[in-house]
């Protein structure tokens, strides 16, 4: 190959776009989107960068990170905590993120029950004795549905300027494609997994035999979850130390669900009231004239227009109070979706929203449009 061409190619490939680490994370994200695991553990998670990306995958309910080095995890672990917006608008799904300090050479029951285990640029940092125990811990003990392992491909190193022996001083080894694939196939055979090889960081045109800059093995467990894992007894003694735990607000938690329902009911009742009062003003009739309200096309949405023609769903006014039937509020898709049943709606708003004495309508003041009536006893 022409030397200038080769140098040009090298300059291009050493500056991967997006950067190689992002391509590795994206690879994992694509796997998550394909297999939709609920529980994901990242071994050798370092500062939690991959976990930070995965927390936005809506299928994931449990995320765990493991690293031998507590200080590297502690650097940015606060960024794995919920944000104010998570409390303002809690999602449906629950999410717990936990970071553990410990070694992949040791078994701990907190690593059981995961659907996907990721080991991104980890194995080349393991001492020989740790690497020997690693397959038994990951495939034998943890035994998730899917394991993804990435590691540098040493055949690519001559294309990376400045790499003399290994890409990083902490690497204990770097394998060529045959070495990685031989190790991976043996682990897969031993623990009843299948494995497929791929990678990220394409070699330059004409040099395809070099392989990807990062080689990746994706392992799928062949036996069903209910069967006993191959070669593994499950010790119960905890050896990892939990260094961080964040439980995200979720509508699965009754406390957040109640808050969301009360807010939505209040908001919906205000909208209904506002449009009801505007309509009265348009017709020039007083709010006391309780039965004069007639729905029209532009009154509410078409959707609500259809609903309010049913008699007992019409708002009405008595004195300085607008009564908004709870059945009308329940008919709004968001309220309906949040509560599921009318009974649940009644239960969630009991004591939190001012209701008529028979509990059939939400009471709002006619006088202060924006103010919610909190006390009618005076
Ligand atoms: N996976 C991360 C990523 O791709 O951004 C970071 C990989 S970093 C190159 C390797 C990590 O493995 C380091 O944070 C190191 O502390 C951790 N590590 C090394 N030996 C380990 C062991 N025996 N058990 C768990 N983690 C280990």
202 and 259 in a common domain? no
CA of 124 to the centre of ligand 1 (A): 9
CA of 68 to the centre of ligand 1 (A): 7
Task: Compute the distance between CA of residue 245 and CA of residue 334 in angstroms, rounded to an integer.
Answer: 31
Q: Which atom of ligand 1 is nearest to 49's Cα?
A: 5
- Give, using CA atoms, the residue closest to atom 10 of ligand 1: 122
Quote the radius of gyration of the chain (alpha carbons, Å).
30
pTM of the predicted protein model: 0.84
Domain assignment of residue 224, yes or no: yes
The pLDDT assigned to 366 comes to: 87
166 and 79 in a common domain? yes
117 and 40 in a common domain? yes
Residue that terminates a domain, selected from 215, 231, 247? 247
Token digits of residue 96: 């717990």
CA of 119 to the centre of ligand 1 (A): 8
Domain assignment of residue 377, yes or no: no
220 and 168 in a common domain? yes
Contact call for residues 73 and 48 (beta carbons, < 8 A)? yes
Task: Compute the distance between CA of residue 31 and CA of residue 336 in angstroms, rounded to an integer.
Answer: 34
User: Please, where are the H alpha helices in the chain?
Assistant: 3-13, 20-35, 49-54, 70-74, 84-88, 128-135, 177-191, 254-283, 302-308, 326-330, 333-339, 342-349
178 and 31 in a common domain? yes
Mean pLDDT, consecutive 10-residue segments, the chain of 378 residues?
47 77 98 98 98 97 98 97 93 97 97 98 98 98 98 95 90 98 98 98 93 98 78 75 98 96 96 86 56 41 49 84 95 95 96 95 81 42
- Give, using CA atoms, the residue closest to atom 18 of ligand 1: 44
The pLDDT assigned to 28 comes to: 98
Ligand 1 pocket: which of 67, 147, 167 to mutate (most atoms <8 Å of CB)?
67
75 and 202 in a common domain? yes
Residue that terminates a domain, selected from 216, 247, 278? 247
Task: Compute the distance between CA of residue 317 and CA of residue 288 in angstroms, rounded to an integer.
Answer: 6
300 and 216 in a common domain? no
Q: Which residue range is the domain that position 304 belongs to?
A: 254-372
240 and 259 in a common domain? no
CA 18 from centroid of its chain's CA atoms: 23
CA of 181 to the centre of ligand 1 (A): 21
Ligand 1 pocket: which of 71, 125, 134, 135 to mutate (most atoms <8 Å of CB)?
125
The pLDDT assigned to 305 comes to: 47
Contact call for residues 304 and 328 (beta carbons, < 8 A)? yes
Residue that terminates a domain, selected from 192, 213, 247? 247
- Give, using CA atoms, the residue closest to atom 4 of ligand 1: 120
Token digits of residue 357: 């004495």
Contact call for residues 154 and 174 (beta carbons, < 8 A)? yes
The domain that contains 50 carries what CATH number? 3.40.50.150
Bridge partners of residue 355, in order along the sequence: 362
215 and 196 in a common domain? yes
Q: Which atom of ligand 1 is nearest to 103's Cα?
A: 24
How many independent structural domains does the chain possess? Answer: 2
264 and 201 in a common domain? no
């Amino acid at each position: 190959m022409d030397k200038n061409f080769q140098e040009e190619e090298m300059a291009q490939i050493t500056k991967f776009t997006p950067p190689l680490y992002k391509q590795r994370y994206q690879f994992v994200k694509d796997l998550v989107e394909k297999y939709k695991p609920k529980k994901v553990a990242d071994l050798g998670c370092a500062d939690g960068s991959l976990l930070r990306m995965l927390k936005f995958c809506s299928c994931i309910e449990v995320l765990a990170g493991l690293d031998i080095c507590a200080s590297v995890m502690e650097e940015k672990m606060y960024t794995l905590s919920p944000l104010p917006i998570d409390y303002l608008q809690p999602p449906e799904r629950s999410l717990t993120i936990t970071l553990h300090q410990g070694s992949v050479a040791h078994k701990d029951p907190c690593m059981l029950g995961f659907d996907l285990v990721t080991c991104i640029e980890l194995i080349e940092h393991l001492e020989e004795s740790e690497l020997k125990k690693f397959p038994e811990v990951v495939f034998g003990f943890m035994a998730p549905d899917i394991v993804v392992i990435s590691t540098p491909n040493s055949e690519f190193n001559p294309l990376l300027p400045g790499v003399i022996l290994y890409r990083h001083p902490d690497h204990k080894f770097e394998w060529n494609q045959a070495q990685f694939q031989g190790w991976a196939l043996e682990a897969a055979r031993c623990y009843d997994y299948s494995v497929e090889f791929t990678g990220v960081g394409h070699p330059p045109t004409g040099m395809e035999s070099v392989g990807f800059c990062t080689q990746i093995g994706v392992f799928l467990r062949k036996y069903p979850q209910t069967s006993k894992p191959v070669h593994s007894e499950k010790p119960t003694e905890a050896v990892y130390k939990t260094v961080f735990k964040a439980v995200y607000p979720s509508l699965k938690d009754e406390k957040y669900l109640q808050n969301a329902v009360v807010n939505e009911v209040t908001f919906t009742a205000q909208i209904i009231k506002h449009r009801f009062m505007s309509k009265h003003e348009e017709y020039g009739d007083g709010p006391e004239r309780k039965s004069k309200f007639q729905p029209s096309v532009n009154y509410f949405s078409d959707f609500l227009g259809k609903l309010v023609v049913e008699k007992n769903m019409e708002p009405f006014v008595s004195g300085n109070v607008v009564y908004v039937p709870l059945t009308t509020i329940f008919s709004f898709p968001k309220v309906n979706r949040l509560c599921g049943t009318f009974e649940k709606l009644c239960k969630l708003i009991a004591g939190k929203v001012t209701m008529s004495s028979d509990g059939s309508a939400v009471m709002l003041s006619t006088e202060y449009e924006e103010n919610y009536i909190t006390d009618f006893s005076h």
